């Protein structure tokens, strides 16, 4: 039975999901469709994009809604204790185990477990989880007795698990067992006008909480807000609105000048490629991503220019508008090639043939003179300086977990 738009709106209202973008509505639709089943679900999305809300939709619209729901962040549990947390342990099974303890899979029997940051789960624990998914069986730490459990697993990741599979850091069989149904939660920058809706919702909430006048944005401020990429997604937007509500409560309408004081300045520091948050983060992957994005922009630009070839003045204007695509790339990718210059003179705008191919420049990322370790160390140092050595926020900017950042700081001897 098809799910109607009205049903989607009702579910969004019930679970506090704000927005009307097509990507968001599709994610809600898939969650509603898979909820009545017992299929495993893998939710993909950037940190702060609201993945946990979709796990709650799946649980509360399922036959397990009267059972327990537990959300666990795999990246926040130390590797030495995660098996005990998930599957329990027997008395005396390790130092400090003064009594037996039930794990989450035993406590949540008949309910749903949400495993966030599943990519941070150790390989040994992954093998135990696979057994639960395949047979509904688990063994407590320090025990030989096989126990049964009936738990639905919903997992989430902010990294590309297939890359971790290729690196040998995630089990391939577990990946395909978890991703029976994938759900993609879009980042805030892909949701268009949803940013304005969320701003108004948060402004109203904080005005009520702090007993101040609700703030609003001018049209110019709305445009400024939509241009910002929000690497921290909804979580970052919420913090931003809270700051403005408290510190600029005298301003009923927030002008671009006021808003710009709270929006972090754009830098050329790219978030570390989220497919590789572990020990072997590769600067080359960052360069590939930048270059592929650039190539896509060039293809789009070429098409627009071809469509406008009958009007040279219009074509030149389009080239001018897209010239900013190259700013910042030059500072991050140092190579020995001559810089490309754009001829913005309308009268001299070259006519590009439909048969011409856009040059593949991805080979530039193969420059062996690039020091991967040096660049990675530099990115980490810049992120720490930017956030006044607050590792939590530095890790968020870099797109890695705090645990990974701590390991990198120790590895590169960056501790003061």
Q: Do residues 133 and 89 make contact, with C-beta atoms less than 8 angstroms apart?
A: no
Domain boundary among 218, 235, 260: 260
The CA–CA distances, whole Å, from 193 to 197, 223, 266, 372, 391 equal 7, 10, 21, 38, 32
* Beta-sheet strands, E only, within 49-193: 69-73, 112-116, 137-139, 146-148, 152-157, 181-184
Task: Report the phi/psi class of residue 230: left, alpha or beta, with left for phi > 0 and alpha for psi in -120 to 50.
Answer: left
**Same domain? 39 vs 170:** yes
Which of 260, 291, 318 is where one domain is finished? Answer: 260
Same domain (yes/no): 118, 41: yes
Residues 6+ apart with CB under 8 A from 348: none
- Output the CA torsion sign for 55, 57, 62, 66: positive
Question: Domain check: are 78 and 173 in the same one?
Answer: yes
Asked if 109 and 174 sit in the same domain, the reply is yes
CATH number assigned to the domain comprising residue 211: 1.10.8.60
The domain tally of the chain equals 3
194 lies in the same domain as 155: no
- Which residues are within 8 A (CB) of 58 and not within 5 positions of it... i.e. 6 or more apart? 31, 34, 35, 41, 112, 154
Residues 196 and 161 in one domain: no
Q: Name which of 212, 202, 221 is nearest 246 in CA terms.
A: 212
d(CA 87, CA 92): 15
The answer on 325 and 237 residing in a single domain is no
pLDDT by residue, tens only, the chain of 416 residues:
689 999 999 999 999 999 999 999 999 999 999 999 999 999 999 999 999 999 999 999 999 999 999 999 999 999 889 999 999 999 988 888 889 999 999 999 999 999 999 999 999 999 999 999 999 999 999 999 999 999 999 999 999 999 999 999 999 999 999 999 999 999 999 999 999 999 999 999 999 999 998 999 999 999 999 999 999 999 999 999 999 999 987 778 999 999 999 998 765 444 444 444 433 444 555 555 566 666 666 666 665 556 555 555 555 555 454 444 444 444 444 444 444 444 434 444 344 444 444 444 344 444 443 456 777 788 888 888 888 888 888 888 787 888 888 888 888 788 75
Q: Mark whether 284 and 160 lie in a shared domain.
A: no
Claim to verify: residue 298 and residue 335 sit in the same structural domain: yes
**Domain of 213?**
189-260
User: Domain check: are 103 and 126 in the same one?
Assistant: yes
My answer on whether 275 and 415 are in the same domain is yes
Sign (positive or negative) of CA dihedral 227, 230, 233, 235: negative
User: Which CATH number belongs to the domain containing residue 150 in this structure?
Assistant: 3.40.50.300
Residues 6+ away with beta carbon under 8 Å from 303: none
Q: Tell me the C-alpha to C-alpha distance, in Å, between residue 143 and each of 92, 132, 220, 406.
A: 10, 16, 64, 33
Residue where a domain terminates, one of 157, 186, 215: 186
Same domain, 293 and 234: no
DSSP state for residue 229 in the 8-state scheme: -
């Amino acid at each position: 039975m098809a799910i109607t738009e009205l049903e989607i709106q009702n579910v969004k209202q019930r679970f506090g999901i704000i927005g009307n973008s097509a990507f968001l509505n599709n994610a809600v639709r898939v969650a509603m469709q898979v909820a009545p089943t017992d299929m495993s679900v893998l939710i993909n999305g950037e940190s702060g994009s609201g993945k946990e809300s979709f796990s709650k939709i799946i649980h509360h619209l399922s036959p397990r809604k009267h059972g327990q729901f537990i959300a666990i962040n795999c990246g926040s549990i130390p590797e030495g204790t995660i098996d005990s947390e998930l599957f329990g342990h027997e008395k005396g099974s390790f130092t400090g185990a003064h009594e037996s303890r039930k794990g989450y899979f035993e406590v949540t029997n008949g309910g749903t477990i949400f495993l966030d940051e599943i990519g941070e789960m150790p390989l040994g624990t992954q093998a135990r989880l696979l057994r639960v998914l395949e047979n509904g069986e688990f063994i407590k730490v320090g025990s030989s007795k096989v126990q049964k459990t009936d738990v639905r697993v919903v997992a989430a990741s902010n990294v590309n698990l297939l890359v971790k599979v290729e690196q040998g850091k995630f089990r391939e069989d577990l990946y395909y067992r978890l991703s029976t149904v994938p759900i993609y939660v879009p980042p805030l920058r892909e949701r268009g006008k949803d940013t304005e809706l969320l701003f108004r919702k948060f402004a109203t909430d904080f005005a009520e909480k702090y007993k101040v006048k609700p703030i609003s944005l001018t049209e110019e401020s709305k445009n400024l807000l939509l241009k910002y990429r929000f690497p921290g997604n909804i979580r970052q937007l919420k913090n931003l609105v809270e700051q403005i509500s408290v510190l600029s409560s005298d301003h009923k309408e927030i002008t671009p000048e006021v808003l710009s004081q709270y929006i972090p300045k754009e830098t050329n520091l790219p978030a570390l490629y989220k497919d590789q948050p572990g020990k072997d983060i590769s600067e080359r992957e960052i360069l590939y991503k930048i270059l592929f994005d650039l190539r896509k922009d060039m293809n789009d630009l070429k098409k627009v220019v071809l469509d406008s070839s009958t009007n040279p003045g219009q074509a030149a204007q389009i080239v001018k508008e897209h010239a900013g695509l190259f700013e910042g790339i030059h500072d991050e990718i140092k190579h020995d090639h001559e810089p490309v210059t754009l001829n913005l003179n309308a009268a001299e705008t070259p006519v590009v043939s439909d048969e011409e191919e856009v040059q593949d420049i991805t080979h530039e990322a193969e420059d062996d003179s690039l020091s991967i370790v040096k660049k990675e160390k530099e990115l980490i140092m810049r992120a720490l300086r930017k956030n006044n050595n607050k590792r939590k926020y530095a890790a968020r900017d870099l797109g890695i977990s705090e645990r990974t950042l701590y390991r990198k700081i120790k590895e590169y001897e960056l501790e003061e």
